[in-house]
């Protein structure tokens, strides 16, 4: 089931960044963030695979992916780690992702009654009703989906 709780996912750019598949009816913030990271990793791997199918070596394809990320996102202290996990780390430390993640964190907090001591581990409903949708299944699995979603929401 697609995570699209309307109290958390407030726009189509939120869905493009954090529209992850969830196997349960509830999820907590930490598990959700892990699924978002895993989704981004799959997208980076697919991007590298596509670049390799166009004739680039694996290292050149990784460098192309990292260059693409750097050209879209504001990242201080670039590490130039072109491993797939390193590229995801770079995305997650970007100003755009940090802003999105902070918004999501506070939305999770707003859903919980204030008496919970550990808000990040208390589950909320996943929900499967939303007005937002991705344009196609192919779009959902593209690195461009994440990059576009991050740049759009950051410029609001």
Sign of the torsion angle spanned by Cα atoms 118, 116, 11, 156 = negative
- Gap between the Cα atoms of 143 and 147, Å rounded: 6
Per-residue confidence (pLDDT) for residue 116, from 0 to 100: 58
Print pLDDT tens along the chain (156 aa).
888 888 899 998 999 999 999 999 999 999 999 999 999 999 999 999 999 999 999 999 999 999 999 999 999 999 989 999 999 999 999 999 999 999 999 898 888 766 555 666 777 888 755 455 544 344 456 899 999 999 987 776
Would you list the domain boundaries of the chain?
12-154
- For 102, other C-beta atoms within 10 Å of its C-beta total 10
Per-residue confidence (pLDDT) for residue 111, from 0 to 100: 82
Q: Which of 80, 78, 75, 79 is nearest to 97 (CA)?
A: 75
Residue pointed to by tokens 């991007």 = 47
Global pTM exceeds 0.85? yes
Per-residue confidence (pLDDT) for residue 135, from 0 to 100: 44
Sign of the torsion angle spanned by Cα atoms 125, 19, 71, 60 = positive
- Gap between the Cα atoms of 106 and 65, Å rounded: 30
Three-class SS state of 21: strand
């Amino acid at each position: 089931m697609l995570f699209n709780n309307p109290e958390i996912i407030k726009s189509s750019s939120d869905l493009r960044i954090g529209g992850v598949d969830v196997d349960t009816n509830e999820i907590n913030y930490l598990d959700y963030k892990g699924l978002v990271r895993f989704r981004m990793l799959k997208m980076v791997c697919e991007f590298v695979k596509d670049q390799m199918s166009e004739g680039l070596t694996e290292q050149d394809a990784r460098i192309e992916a990292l260059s693409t990320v750097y050209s879209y996102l504001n990242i201080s202290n670039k590490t130039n780690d072109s491993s797939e996990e390193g590229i995801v780390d770079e995305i997650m430390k970007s100003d755009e992702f940090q802003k999105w993640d902070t918004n999501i964190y506070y939305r999770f907090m707003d859903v919980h009654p204030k008496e919970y001591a550990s808000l990040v581990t208390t589950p909320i409903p996943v929900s499967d009703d939303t007005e937002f949708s991705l344009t196609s299944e192919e779009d959902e699995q593209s690195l461009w989906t994440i990059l576009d979603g991050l740049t759009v929401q950051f410029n609001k």
